[in-house]
A and B are shown apart, each in its own frame.
Chain A
């Protein structure tokens, strides 16, 4: 019996070691790193760092986390914020109760705890599909808000059930200033983006996408669907857990159960939607949209002085209307998200350059 395995690989199909796209990709990564670690910290003001850049990056990371689950593995979650809260409360208690643990260890452990919780709440995925899964994840959302409210142990019996960020230090560097917090956020994010690419380009990522596109066919091919789904919840929750720590410690400086409420979960859902499913960098676009839109609208109202013509409350409600309308508009006109715009734009430019 002949076998495919026996025959030598066809040399023609082995790609050259370094191709032009690979070089370009390398150049992009290098540029990205220079901008992230050099240009931004050198030029951004405290205001931009603390209230726009840091939240955008962290929310983008949250988008990546959900996108791994939803965009790549095709699973639903309406409880992303709950896993973020598991991360931040874990990290807080780790720092409190194991003060010798270095900061990277805290992040990884917090992520792992969130991952374990993610697996538990992902278990129903083995029996149920599609929108029904929303119930389980929504259950997680309410359960953890309740847990962290109901058991003050998690917040070290703080009076307001709020935890405040511990001193952030790494190798003796103080990360308290906006620049320090920015560097922490951007370093962790860079590492996690790298990890995300490793995951989605691995066999695991391929099998997730196979399950997403056609679950029955995937199982017929021998893909371990149940295990892969749980792994998707684990990986996504790992990311979310770390994102939660960054949100609480590096951005807000505080966290309580309410910080990670359903609205936050919905925001993350919108980020994936706006940025585009099954993308990595698109999430930052989505996050920028979520973070900037209310600020821009607020400025517009202030600048145009319409506040004096009409009731300010009415105008802020108008913002809500505009925001909802934009979401519907994007869903109708650009189902692949804003990153599809950019991709098309880049292709158009490339096409023009080529001709």
Chain B
């Protein structure tokens, strides 16, 4: 190697390493601001879902900063950190921002990955940093006594299974008519996908429907065999628990074997525009569970359109993504963050919150119908009330939506899951976890 090229390589190396150390210092001063470390995955197989999701987050926070002047005057500082949906890089991001950034405080971290959520459990407990995963957290972490710093807000897959069964019951004329109905669950063969096996077995025993479980290996680009099994078993309904490419392939393959598309109900991660659209005409009539309802006809979404999107301040490059499932999901997530800040500020004062204060705030969230109306989020979110006993929210609810070839139509209002049905089973799992890890559950003293 010539001297010249070695010099160039050395210089490049020096510049790179200098950037590592000087990088943060060059950015703006964050004192007096609240940090929102935005964990991104703009690369890799799941990037398509992140881009509108991240934009929803950013747009809402920009709206709060620029139109509302911050949360009670406290501006939110967004710092992106790319995880590429890997746990390793996620941990680096966590370590980078867990203690704040340039004076801006970290109140909570949204890891945007179920795997990362689990990986951070022990670290967050040690560091006392709340980890928030709306729609994608660990169900056992609902028990805030065992998991003080985990917040699996809004939704879980057991409730989802129950909502689906309730919906099907409604379609066949009541729970007593479920006997003999065949419900096949086509699941992504992973921890996520397998999570509904247990609740459906319980529900099947309770209502007498036939429970058929069929796995699809990751990534799920071939499903001919699985759909032939479904057809052979004579399934009446399919609960599609897909992820990524698995969903459109499932819808297309269903058409190939002649299974009616309006008898397929997608999981929340199978219910975005990007899940249905690639399936083309085969997806017309496809159903999905929705916790993050799409659409632009909500007060807050209209405000975002006016103040952010039309003002050219949106993070979206492609405005057709505005109001999609993932965009609205991002907005909803950002709302939970901002509302947690408000809750905390009400107790600790109108200033940036620390992680410990963030933990208290997240544990005492109460976004009731009145507050939802003030936010202009009627229909977009259902009431969310947390406590030390319940880090998910006391009432889990979802809508059923239907694909019309262009966009989603909302079929139902909020369908509410029975909060008591699985509560004991989940509590028992959390207790077993506590025993295995040698954790003494907290005693409820704060409230």
Interface set of A (CB-CB < 8 Å, partner B): 46-47, 50-52, 55, 96, 146, 149-150, 152, 156, 158-162, 164-167, 176-177, 251-254, 256, 258-259, 263, 292, 294-296, 298-300, 302-303, 307, 311-313, 316-317, 319-320, 333-334, 341
- A294 to B121, Cβ gap below 8 A? no
**Distance between Cα atoms of A292 and B16 in the complex (Å):** 10
Of A158, A164, A298, which contacts B82 at CB under 8 A? A298
Which secondary structure dominates where chain A touches chain B? helix
Chain B residues with a Cβ closer than 8 Å to the other chain, count: 56
- B42 to A256, Cβ gap below 8 A? no
- B92 to A162, Cβ gap below 8 A? no
Of B16, B121, B122, B126, which contacts A300 at CB under 8 A? B16
Q: Given contacts A299-B19, A303-B19, A313-B47, is CB(A167)–CB(B438) below 8 Å?
A: yes
Q: How many A-B residue pairs have CB under 8 A?
A: 136
Of A47, A303, A334, which contacts B96 at CB under 8 A? A47
- B119 to A159, Cβ gap below 8 A? no
Distance of A322 from chain B, by nearest CB (Å): 11
- B437 to A167, Cβ gap below 8 A? yes
**Distance between Cα atoms of A309 and B96 in the complex (Å):** 24
Q: Which residues of B contact A149 (CB under 8 A)?
A: 189-191, 194
Additional A-B contact list (18), CB under 8 Å, known A160-B118, A294-B89, A295-B89: A50-B95, A51-B91, A149-B189, A152-B194, A160-B114, A160-B115, A164-B437, A251-B88, A252-B119, A258-B115, A296-B16, A296-B20, A298-B82, A302-B79, A312-B80, A313-B47, A319-B82, A334-B1
Question: Which residue of chain B is the closest to A290 with respect to CB atoms?
Answer: B88
Bits for B73-106, please: 1 = Cβ < 8 Å to A, else 0: 0000001111010111101101110000000000
**Distance between Cα atoms of A312 and B58 in the complex (Å):** 13
Distance of A263 from chain B, by nearest CB (Å): 8
- A319 to B92, Cβ gap below 8 A? no
- A300 to B23, Cβ gap below 8 A? yes
Question: Which residue of chain B is the closest to A345 with respect to CB atoms?
Answer: B6
- A52 to B317, Cβ gap below 8 A? no
Bits for B111-133, please: 1 = Cβ < 8 Å to A, else 0: 00011001111110010000000
Of B84, B88, B115, B429, which contacts A316 at CB under 8 A? B84
**Distance between Cα atoms of A334 and B86 in the complex (Å):** 29
Which secondary structure dominates where chain B touches chain A? helix
- B192 to A333, Cβ gap below 8 A? no
Is B217 at the interface (CB under 8 A from chain A)?
Answer: yes
**Distance between Cα atoms of A161 and B317 in the complex (Å):** 37
B19, B94, B317 interface centre (most CB from chain A within 10 Å): B19
- A333 to B82, Cβ gap below 8 A? no
- B115 to A256, Cβ gap below 8 A? yes
**Distance between Cα atoms of A162 and B113 in the complex (Å):** 13
Q: Which residues of B contact A161 (CB under 8 A)?
A: 190-191, 194
Is B229 at the interface (CB under 8 A from chain A)?
Answer: no
Of B1, B19, B88, B121, which contacts A55 at CB under 8 A? B88
Can you list 7 A-B contacts with CB-CB less than 8 angstroms, sorted by A residue number? A51-B92, A149-B189, A149-B191, A159-B138, A159-B140, A161-B190, A164-B122
Is B17 at the interface (CB under 8 A from chain A)?
Answer: yes
- A253 to B191, Cβ gap below 8 A? no
- B43 to A316, Cβ gap below 8 A? yes
Q: Given contacts A159-B195, A160-B118, is CB(A303)–CB(B22) below 8 Å?
A: yes
- B80 to A307, Cβ gap below 8 A? yes
Distance of A179 from chain B, by nearest CB (Å): 12
Q: Which residues of A contact B96 (CB under 8 A)?
A: 47, 51
Q: Which residues of A contact B1 (CB under 8 A)?
A: 333-334, 341
Question: Which residue of chain A is the closest to B79 with respect to CB atoms?
Answer: A302
- B436 to A50, Cβ gap below 8 A? no
- A302 to B43, Cβ gap below 8 A? no
Question: Which residue of chain A is the closest to B91 with respect to CB atoms?
Answer: A51
Q: Which residues of B contact A156 (CB under 8 A)?
A: 436
Is B311 at the interface (CB under 8 A from chain A)?
Answer: no
Q: Which residues of A contact B122 (CB under 8 A)?
A: 164-165, 176, 253-254
